[in-house]
């Protein structure tokens, strides 16, 4: 009788923070006082999507939800103390590195990102190629009216090089190497962690949270699948772009300019 092949195992760390627990606005988390019921529903939806996606691919997994006691809407597996909640993804990377030898894959994902099994499979397949120094990151998308777009290419538009074709699919190297999640083989994770540019929380792209992911991705050549509005996507439930425009932090004209660049991305 043939022995059963070992199922791959993934470690998933989810940094979680809610800035409205006390009812007072603090300069962490979103730019607005958050609605507790909406925020909790979003986090739970993203947790369900993680479960469904990994189960669909028959990958064993362990989810560790980490955060700060008293500033959480969900039960935490790991309670931390930090002077700045935006350091949580940095701490998650440290914790993941310690546990990574016991897993085949390591994921660190923001708590408001809804993944799906198609995207999960595409990233795992691409990033499992041992001979490649390129890794694939997700296109984090939002929607305003009928327009779906890649959030991170609105926040930081532009490309480092022309589009390339690999196995019949198109990819391009972006300036913005952050998409709210990191997913690597455990070996590649440890290589990135060992060679990461900054060992302590440092602003590289945007704020500390985005920089935690960029700091790890900096070790590789990063690729995004094209078109970014529909290929290898995850849904960002935070509506960051709409909120930036509502708070006059992003001009509508600049938003449409970024969308135009996305339309021309395959050139």
- Domain around 21: 9-263
Please report whether residue 190 resides in a domain.
yes
Cα–Cα distance, 142 to 155 (Å, whole number): 12
Output helix, strand, coil percentages for the chain, rounded to the nearest 5. 35, 25, 40
| CATH number of the domain bearing residue 15 | 3.90.550
Q: Are 75 and 65 in contact (CB under 8 A)?
A: yes
State the total domains in the chain. 1
Please report whether residue 113 resides in a domain.
yes
Please report whether residue 4 resides in a domain.
no
**Residues, the chain:** 267
Residue 34, pLDDT score: 62
Q: How many CA atoms lie within 13 A of 136 on its CB side?
A: 25
Please report whether residue 1 resides in a domain.
no
Residue 267, pLDDT score: 54
Q: Are 135 and 213 in contact (CB under 8 A)?
A: no
The tens-digit pLDDT sequence of the chain (267 residues) is 343 458 999 999 999 999 764 444 444 444 445 688 889 999 999 999 999 999 999 999 999 999 999 899 999 999 999 989 999 999 999 999 999 999 999 999 999 999 999 999 999 999 999 888 999 999 999 998 888 999 999 999 999 999 999 999 999 999 999 999 999 999 999 999 999 999 999 999 999 999 999 999 999 999 999 999 999 999 999 888 988 888 888 888 888 788 777 766 655
Residue 243, pLDDT score: 85
Q: CA torsion sign, 53 to 57 to 62 to 66?
A: negative
Please report whether residue 3 resides in a domain.
no
């Amino acid at each position: 009788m043939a022995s059963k092949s070992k199922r791959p195992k993934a470690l998933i760390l989810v940094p979680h923070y809610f800035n409205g627990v006390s009812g007072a606005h603090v300069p962490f988390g979103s730019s607005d006082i958050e609605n507790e019921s909406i925020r909790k529903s979003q986090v739970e939806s993203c947790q369900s999507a993680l479960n469904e996606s990994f189960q669909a691919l028959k990958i064993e997994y362990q989810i560790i939800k980490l955060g700060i006691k008293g500033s959480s809407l969900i039960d935490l597996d790991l309670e931390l103390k930090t002077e700045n909640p935006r350091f949580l993804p940095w701490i998650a990377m440290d914790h993941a590195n310690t546990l990574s030898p016991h897993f085949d894959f390591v994921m660190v994902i923001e708590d408001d990102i809804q993944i799906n099994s198609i995207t999960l499979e595409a990233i795992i397949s691409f990033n499992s190629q041992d001979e490649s120094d390129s890794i694939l990151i997700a296109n984090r998308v939002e929607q305003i009216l009928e327009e779906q777009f890649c959030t991170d290419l609105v926040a930081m538009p532009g490309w480092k090089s022309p589009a390339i074709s690999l196995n019949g699919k198109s990819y391009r190297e972006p300036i913005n190497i952050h998409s709210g999640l990191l997913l690597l083989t455990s070996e590649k994770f440890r290589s990135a962690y060992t060679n990461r540019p900054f060992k302590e929380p440092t602003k590289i792209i945007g704020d500390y949270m985005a920089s935690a992911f960029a700091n790890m991705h900096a070790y590789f050549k990063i690729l995004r699948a094209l078109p970014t509005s529909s290929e290898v996507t995850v849904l960002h439930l935070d509506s960051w772009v709409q909120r930036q425009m509502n708070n006059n932090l992003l001009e509508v004209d600049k938003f449409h300019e970024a969308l135009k660049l996305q339309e021309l991305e395959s050139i």
